[in-house]
Structure 1
């Protein structure tokens, strides 16, 4: 039985787990890391208690992407990297399982995201 807040929509409807269900759950965890919020947080007002419900409208407007960054970062992050991380999370959180990427593709995207250029223009791992 999946934990509420991490369950893929198709699992909630059918009770069937697939590898794509795991990709969805990973997307929730990844968005928790990006945002500094919990998947379910009953201490927040009703509209913000479910992380995915809160984030869905923000995903639709690139100008609001910075609102999904953990406020404890105080804006100290590369905005391009935030956009790329949120793009990965959004792909994992697609409501339709068949549209979600394979976990291997998510890993490849994360590896790419982890590479950054230093001041000399050489790629380095973060």
Structure 2
């Protein structure tokens, strides 16, 4: 945001009787800064959540379930109204939504793969005892 209020000249801005105007402008700037900081923090949080595969798949599963429910409800409503071939209209988007829902359900419920096991440590070299000088 600009330092001073747009449309107000610098001489008018610095007049003593406009102190309330400057205070209000500073409050507005502080509010705008806090609002932008909160938006940036929320954006960062969402990106961090979606960067993880499980959360990304859960998000996609939610979209698939919602779409399946919506198109399924439309199909049922049209079929109960007896609209003939019109009931096939929402089946087109319903089938891919159900397929994606099943796929992401499988992806979310599948156990996480274990990280690569650490290789066993190298065995310490065996020391042979020194030869017996008495022998």
TM-score, normalising length from structure 2?
0.27
Higher-strand-fraction structure: 1
Q: Rg bigger for which structure?
A: 2
Structure with bigger RCO (C-alpha 8 Å, 6+ apart): 1
TM-score, normalising length from structure 1?
0.29
Higher-helix-fraction structure: 2
